């Protein structure tokens, strides 16, 4: 089961960054897709045509007061993963809070429970660093990781890739913090061609995006039309895939997706959306 968890539970668990000591390539300007407040995606994690896990992702809009910026529009991405069969004991829940203008993370919290262990992992992001606190039955580990350039939480990478240019031939390196392992790991992204993906929701025309880490190469499929949903992914080496099986639309995002202001500059305010606690 551990190999499955590292690849697709949650679905974004592959992504990482350039090798330690290697300068990260410049990331193309991200453009926020037409994502929606309250949009909900449900995925099945499958192997050999058998459902192993069910992953549910919910995106909620909010805003926060950040020092030097004022009110900044944010999003809360919550992913929960449970086994498809009730006889398995497994629960994985992650919430990542990120800015909707820069799509950079502010903090994340993950709780992972299995029949042999329990982890609570909290990460806070600052320019140039990520501070991690991991608690398990073995005790508490705290670590400050140095980062270069744009850095993302590993559990939000599937959402980040919705905002990259889907032009064939686009290549980039990004940084992703794998907090549960207390590390930053390598990742290269390449946009390939167009592919029609058959899903329970019908055939969806997608752009194929290949993501390569030191250990794996995985193909992600992103809808060409807005809101550029993550339709699925496939790890051909392990025979594991993730597939969109249900989708609930939400409300429109009022943010224009412009570049962030300089500290102290004004930020266009958007309506505050109450978030269930």
Cβ atoms < 10 Å from Cβ of 27: 18
- Residue 269 lies inside a defined structural domain of this protein: no
Task: Supply the range of the domain harboring residue 145.
Answer: 2-248
Report if residue 255 sits inside a domain.
Answer: no
Q: How confident is the model at residue 48 (pLDDT cuts 50, 70, 90)?
A: confident
The answer to whether residue 122 sits within a structural domain is yes
Report if residue 184 sits inside a domain: yes
Instruction: Please state, in angstroms and rounded to a whole number, the distance separating the CA atoms of residues 182 and 134.
Output: 8
Secondary structure of 211-257 in HEC code, one letter for each residue:
EECCCCEEEEEEECCCCCCEEEEEECCCCEEEEEEEEECCEECCCCC
pLDDT in tens, 18-33: 333 334 345 667 888 9
The DSSP bridge pattern shows strands 129-136 and 50-66 to be unpaired
* Tens of pLDDT, residues 168-194: 999 998 888 999 999 998 789 999 999
Q: What is the C-alpha separation between 97 and 4, in angstroms, rounded?
A: 25
Within a domain: residue 263?
no
In the predicted structure, residue 211 carries a pLDDT above the cut 80: yes
Looking at residue 5, its pLDDT comes to: 36
What token pair was written down for 92?
A: 């994985």
User: Within a domain: residue 65?
Assistant: yes
pLDDT tens for each residue of 117-138 = 899 999 999 999 999 999 999 9
85, part of any domain: yes
Tell me the pLDDT tens digit for each residue of 190-201: 999 999 999 999
């Amino acid at each position: 089961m551990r190999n499955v968890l590292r690849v697709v539970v949650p679905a974004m668990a592959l992504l990482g960054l350039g090798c330690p000591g290697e300068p990260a390539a410049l990331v193309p300007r991200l453009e926020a897709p037409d994502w929606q407040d309250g949009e909900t995606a449900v995925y099945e994690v499958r192997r050999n045509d058998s459902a192993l896990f069910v992953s549910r992702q919910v995106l909620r809009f909010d805003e926060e007061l950040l020092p030097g910026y004022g009110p900044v529009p944010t999003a809360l991405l919550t992913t929960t993963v449970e086994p498809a069969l009730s006889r398995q004991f497994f629960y994985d829940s992650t919430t990542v809070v990120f800015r909707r203008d820069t799509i950079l993370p502010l903090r994340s919290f993950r709780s992972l429970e299995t029949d042999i262990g329990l982890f609570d992992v909290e990460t806070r992001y600052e320019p140039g660093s990520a501070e991690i606190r991991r608690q398990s039955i073995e005790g508490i580990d705290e670590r400050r990781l140095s980062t270069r350039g744009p850095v993302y939480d590993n559990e939000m990478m599937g959402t980040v890739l919705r905002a990259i240019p889907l032009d064939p031939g686009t290549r980039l390196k990004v940084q992703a913090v794998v907090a549960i392992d207390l590390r930053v790991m390598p990742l290269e992204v390449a946009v390939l061609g167009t592919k029609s993906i058959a899903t329970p929701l019908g055939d969806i025309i997608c752009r194929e995006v290949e993501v390569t880490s030191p250990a794996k190469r995985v193909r992600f499929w992103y809808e060409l039309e807005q809101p550029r949903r993550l339709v699925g992914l496939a790890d051909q080496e392990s025979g594991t895939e993730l597939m969109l099986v249900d989708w609930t639309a939400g409300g429109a995002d009022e943010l224009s997706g412009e570049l962030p202001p300089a500290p102290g500059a004004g930020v266009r305010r958007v309506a505050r959306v109450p978030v269930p606690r």
